[in-house]
Structure 1
Amino acid sequence: MAADFAPVTALTCPGEAAGNLEALARLFPGVVTEQGLDVDALREILGEKVRPGAEVFGLRWPGMGEARRLSAEPATGTLLPRPGESVDWDTTRNVVIEGDNLEVLRLLRRGYTGKVDVIYIDPPYNTGNDFVYDDSRMSTIAEYETEAGLRDALGPLQVGEGSDRAQDRRSAASRHTRWLSMMYPRLLVAHNLLKDTGVVIVAIDDTEHARLRLLLDKVFGAENFAANVVWQGVGKNDARFTAGGNDYMLIYAKDVGLLVRNDVRWVEPKEGYELVLAASKRAWAESGHDAGRATEIFRKWWNTKPDVEKGLLQYKEIDEHGKAFRRSPVSSPNPRENLMFDVPHPVTGRPVVAPPNGWRYSRESMAEKIAEGLILFGRDHESTISSKTYLEDAREQPIRPAFWQVRATASEALAKSLQAQVFDFPKDVSVLAKWINAVTQGDKKAFVLDFFAGSGSVGHAVMNLNAADDGERRYVLVQLDEKVGKNGYETIAGIARERLRRAGAEIAARRRVDTGFRSYRLATSNIKAWNGLAELDLLGSVDNLVEGRGTDDLLVEMMLRLGVDLVTPVEIREVGGSTLYNVGGTVYAYFGADVTTDRADKVAKAIVAWRDENPANSDITVVVRDTGFRDDCAKLNFAVALEQAGFTTLRSI
């Protein structure tokens, strides 16, 4: 038996290049060889629809292939836990991560693929002064022109006789290229994280709206487009063409067909519904439960012109049960033979006047509605009839794709909360809450991700939703460590954490919901990388871990590599002078150093005993420090003891 354990760093997952190759090998074993993918064999299996070099319709830009490749690269970093920055570390299920979101998304891919219900992002609008994701991988103007065939070794090529292209046009083309190359790999990884029923909402302005929609078509498929929401804010009175002030939210489903088959509907409460309902109840009470008198009082209230949704204006009567209702036509919009039948008047017994196209309902449905009292007859058979719809059944409506909301309100609210003006243009928490709730159909356990978190508005919105309905929604926020240097805040991520602390404390004072979060920061791996250039230092190579990192840091990296949710409960026990971790009963980790044979035996027995206290229904993984054992004998004895106890998955870090 070998003493070497498979390293967790060698694991792959769908979405990574190696994982994608493994997926192809499972589907088509003959196309993957020892040398890699046999593209010609794959093309033959897929048939005539796959043609090399074929022109295709869609968005393309210089550097697109490189951007796509970045999405498939495995993560090389880790997340360092920061309990001191956190709130309710041991109990919360929310996560805030500071660092470059592409690397963070790749780290999250193993544990969160197919887990997220809704992704909301508000990426840089690319206005020329707010674009900070300026990786060296992104195109310069010269690189853009070279890849686009507009530059050679001597410089820019002329277009047309005597042409001298304007500098701003060259700059704009490069800027759009850089923005697309930044967004593309992030959206590709995000697509993996969504559930099949998941939805992505991307905020944008006019600058990149058209290109973003084409990019989302490329990532999600044009058939999965769901909505283009228009958010009208305050316009500019001195604007040259229109007042402007529009922002947008492009919404795509991962699988629109699945949502349709599940009869998913995105709805919102009608504006002013509760106001109308309360007025109808007051009228019923004041009337002494007299339907005629209650209707009279109710209509007088309507004369005050309350500010409510237009569709509520029709509810102006109250029936003998004290319920507000409206009358609706019962005629069919189109003539159909099966809708032509007699409906007898309940008093005269003679057929009532029928509409020319027949009734809206079938004979059976009409009989059911009459029996339920939902068809209103006139005095005799010569009067027309109508259907009855109760106000209590009309609380919601399909969510409107255009709305008006002043954005300054959100800025004022954030400045008041933080007692300082430190962040420009935060998103309105109420708007985010409305749309998150709509696209998740009010799911109280929805999982929300925002990897352009800014000031943390999405986290605040999720907490507000939970406070409103005692929900258990959770969020993961990712924000670049972008410098801000305002009023004591070093980074935008720092603003987000403080905003969540204050908003959470305010909510916790009145409702018992999860208002905490675990804070993490992106860092290089805890495992030293050998670059192959320096002389081999045998003594220095014995310990492969970065100096200054602790066992808690190793635990988080191990969880990320194994695809374990970051908020999985962790228990600890001290064994042999180091910490033994129990992660949700399915992973045991021990990162002690200089482990002798005797100490290895103690650790193995402790793991077995802990497992036996609460047996798991799934496979259990044991992870150890690769260089933690004093010699191979100690490692081998440890492995034998665990395998004899039924453990089959042993790994190292």
Structure 2
Amino acid sequence: MHSPDLSQDNIAKIRDLFPGCVTEARDNTTGELRLAVDFDQLKQELSDYIVEGPKERYRLDWPGKREALFLANAPTAKTLRPVVDESLAFDTTQNLFIEGDNLEALKLLQESYLGKVKMIYIDPPYNTGKDFIYDDDFSEKSEDFLVRSNQKDDIGNRLLANTESNGRFHSDWLSMMMPRLRLAKNVLSDDGVIFISIDDCEINNLRSLCDEVFGSDNFIASIIWHKMDSPKNSAKYLSEDHDYILLYAKNSEKWRPRLLPRSGKMIERYQNPDNDPRGPWLLGDLAARNFYSKGVYPITTPSGKLISGPPAGSYWRISQEKFDELSADNRIWWGTSGDNRPGIKKFLSEVRDGVIPQTYWSWKEVGSTRNAKQDLRKLLNASSGDQIFITPKPVKLIERMLDIATSPDENAIILDFFAGSGSTAHAVMRKNSNDGGNRKWISVQLPEPASDNKTISDMCLDRVRQAGIEAIETGSSESWDKDIGFRFLKIDSSNMKDVYYRPDEISQTDLLDAVDNVKPDRTAEDLLFQVLVDWGVDLTLPIRRETIQGKTVFFVDENALVACFDQGVSEALVKELAKSEPLRVVFRDNGFESDAVKINVEQVFRQLSPTTEVKAI
């Protein structure tokens, strides 16, 4: 019921004439993004002289960039709560599944996994105008957000629909991606890499953003994945048959790709027509177009035919002395008749054990989107009418990345913080089951509503459970550790009570209520994992529970950390724990049976285990 916005219509007309003069800007009144005219640029377009304007510089800029940088550095008050009942092999597994906002998850993982992740693969939401992207307004209360966004779910997810109606703004998408990539860089190891799937809409912006975050010197490749196994006849213009996968290293000087295994077809090309005892060989051309000063000389074939020199416009690759040496070693092939132009025999037994990865990946080798969907439906025993992911990534596609970036024996950690359908966790388990590897995975997924009272993370976990069973049943390696479990961790508010009182507002009752600083619904396991996060301890270390003097005591990696959060801790129990000489020990602040015991804790450990770090929460 509003009259047309003529200014926006006029801007659209200018965009038709001068596309480079229309940009995105934030409205001073509403704070919303809208199209705007870059008047300095428009003035230059309409002038026959250089117009004075803002100082030019080479950079990627957009409305909201400073806020995105602030979000990357801002702390979070959230914590990770274990959900043991929904986990698999909780006490022993080294895999993690984290449910919640991935920006908060990355912040919580900073200390524990700083510089430890070997490979990251993400398939972020494409800016299609229909997908959802994350709206990271941490300053807003959840109630205010629900009113503002007209959305509601069980844990207060923050989502912003980047739809056609708001112009599919690149700024929204970039603001969502930047803080996540900056935090992802921190957890990458010095010889680690990140693979990012993307389509044509944001490939240029993502490349510029990654250059800024990782450094242009660390750009490795832009991989073309031919994802469609048949043309899309419904396409408006051309059938979009490919996606891109950007590959960046944390440090390109320290990272090198692993060679890919040769396929059966590659090996079949090696033949042995002359029964050479060195085995099958492949014929290499002796001539090349590159200039070589010693590469012009006549050659006489075994049949007596004279070859005056290399073909026109080319040179022999090697000198005559080297040629004679190879000929004497039966490494020159003249054809079955003995008078062909010579070639060099390249023996399969002498070439590198693999081939260098290429930047074009065909669906025939790594799978198509249709293959991925069919495989997922089969794995989950879903019928054609069941709700399922529209564009899951093929497991083979991610296995190709694992082949390039990891080796079976290096205990590599693989992170995917846009887990989606769970393809990355599936690929890691399948790869381990076939090559005996001990790679470990961390998946992060927001519990977006899906269907049938299920969330995306629920469906992802269903897939991960079935993928583990498949890996056990079909894996060809007998040496892998068969770790198909995962620790389910959920992002939630702090375990500590929130205190918002001013001194003049506190009553005696309020002080009594604050004696116990832990929220009543939190368990000992909750407190343990908050300590692990705060202390930067590996979240997958084995955990053992033991009852000592009637109290539950947690031993993390035996003596890496010992924790007791029960009430009524006695000095005798403190002395008993000190005998194990743990690296760290933690108690509940109000868990001691008396103030005297609390005061004496540090003294006890100073005498019995002086290297132990003592903490009370």
Counterpart contact for 1:318–1:325, Cα < 8 Å: no
Point out the more displaced range, 324-333 or 512-521: 324-333
Write the mapping of 1:124-273 to structure 2, written as runs, cut at 5 A.
124-136=125-137, 171-172=166-167, 175-232=169-226, 233=228, 234-259=230-255, 264-270=256-262, 273=263
1:437 maps to what in 2? 403
Q: How many residues align?
A: 519
2:561 maps to what in 1? 587
Write the mapping of 1:398-477 to structure 2, written as runs, cut at 5 A.
398-405=356-363, 406-420=368-382, 421=386, 422-440=388-406, 445-477=411-443
Shift of 1:455: 1.2
Distance 1:476 1:563 in 2: 16
Change (3 A) 1:548 1:576: farther
1:328 maps to what in 2? 284
Change (3 A) 1:74 1:554: same
Shift of 1:316: 7.7
Change (3 A) 1:359 1:565: same
Write the mapping of 1:566-585 to structure 2, written as runs, cut at 5 A.
566-584=539-557, 585=559
Distance 1:539 1:87 in 2: 40
Change (3 A) 1:370 1:568: farther
Aligned AA (2:376): L
Change (3 A) 1:364 1:171: farther
Point out the more displaced range, 395-404 or 249-258: 395-404
Distance 2:524 2:456 in 1: 29
Shift of 1:347: 11
Higher helix residue share: 1
Counterpart contact for 1:78–1:522, Cα < 8 Å: yes
- Secondary structure of the equivalent of 2:468? helix
CA offsets 1:1-31 (integer angstroms, 9 cap, x no match): xxxxxxxxxxxxxxxxxxxxxxxxxxxxxxx
Point out the more displaced range, 569-578 or 461-470: 569-578
TM-score normalized by the length of structure 1: 0.72
1:79 equivalenced with 2:83 (yes/no): no
- Secondary structure of the equivalent of 2:132? coil
**Unpaired segments ≥5 residues, structure 2:** 1-53, 141-161
Aligned AA (2:602): A
Point out the more displaced range, 510-519 or 363-372: 363-372
1:531 maps to what in 2? 500
Counterpart contact for 1:353–1:381, Cα < 8 Å: no
Change (3 A) 1:335 1:442: farther
Counterpart contact for 2:561–2:584, Cα < 8 Å: yes
Counterpart contact for 2:567–2:590, Cα < 8 Å: yes
Counterpart contact for 1:437–1:443, Cα < 8 Å: no
Shift of 1:168: 9.3
Write the mapping of 1:532-611 to structure 2, written as runs, cut at 5 A.
532=501, 535-536=506-507, 537-584=510-557, 585-595=559-569, 599-600=570-571, 602-611=572-581
Distance 2:506 2:431 in 1: 58
Distance 2:398 2:514 in 1: 50
- Secondary structure of the equivalent of 1:256? coil
TM-score normalized by the length of structure 2: 0.76
2:4 maps to what in 1? none
CA offsets 1:389-413 (integer angstroms, 9 cap, x no match): 1345477433232234231121121
CA offsets 1:405-449 (integer angstroms, 9 cap, x no match): 231121121112212233221111111111222233666632110
Shift of 1:505: 1.1
Change (3 A) 1:342 1:226: same
Change (3 A) 1:379 1:417: closer
Point out the more displaced range, 390-399 or 325-334: 390-399
- Secondary structure of the equivalent of 1:484? coil
Distance 2:116 2:75 in 1: 19
CA offsets 1:17-53 (integer angstroms, 9 cap, x no match): xxxxxxxxxxxxxxxxxxxxxxxxxxxxxxxxxxxx9
Change (3 A) 1:372 1:54: farther
Point out the more displaced range, 471-480 or 514-523: 514-523
Distance 1:516 1:425 in 2: 25
1:521 equivalenced with 2:490 (yes/no): yes
Distance 2:511 2:320 in 1: 89
Counterpart contact for 1:353–1:384, Cα < 8 Å: no
Shift of 1:103: 0.6
1:58 maps to what in 2? 59
Shift of 1:375: 3.4
Distance 1:203 1:177 in 2: 19
Shift of 1:212: 1.4
- Secondary structure of the equivalent of 1:589? strand
Change (3 A) 1:225 1:603: same
- Secondary structure of the equivalent of 2:580? helix
Aligned AA (2:170): H
CA offsets 1:171-229 (integer angstroms, 9 cap, x no match): 226x3222211111111100001011111111112222221111111111122111112
Change (3 A) 1:562 1:364: farther
Distance 1:368 1:530 in 2: 85
Counterpart of 2:472 (choices 496, 501, 508) is 508
Distance 1:644 1:372 in 2: 75
- Secondary structure of the equivalent of 1:112? coil
1:642 maps to what in 2? 605
Change (3 A) 1:633 1:389: same
Counterpart contact for 1:265–1:441, Cα < 8 Å: no
Aligned AA (1:172): G
2:333 maps to what in 1? 376
- Secondary structure of the equivalent of 1:610? coil
Shift of 1:95: 0.9
Write the mapping of 1:18-33 to structure 2, written as runs, cut at 5 A.
none
- Secondary structure of the equivalent of 1:111? coil
Change (3 A) 1:318 1:574: farther
Distance 1:372 1:650 in 2: 72
Aligned AA (2:196): V
Counterpart contact for 2:578–2:604, Cα < 8 Å: no
1:624 equivalenced with 2:587 (yes/no): yes
Name the Cα RMSD after superposition: 3.4
Shift of 1:384: 4.7
Counterpart contact for 2:283–2:344, Cα < 8 Å: yes
Point out the more displaced range, 382-391 or 621-630: 382-391
Percent of aligned positions that are identical: 35
Counterpart contact for 1:352–1:381, Cα < 8 Å: no
Shift of 1:643: 0.9
Change (3 A) 1:256 1:318: farther
Write the mapping of 1:257-296 to structure 2, written as runs, cut at 5 A.
257-259=253-255, 264-270=256-262, 273-275=263-265, 277=267
Change (3 A) 1:340 1:480: same
- Secondary structure of the equivalent of 1:212? helix
**Unpaired segments ≥5 residues, structure 1:** 1-52, 140-166, 281-311
Distance 1:606 1:637 in 2: 14
Aligned AA (1:176): H
Counterpart contact for 2:408–2:437, Cα < 8 Å: no
Shift of 1:82: 1.6
Distance 1:582 1:549 in 2: 19
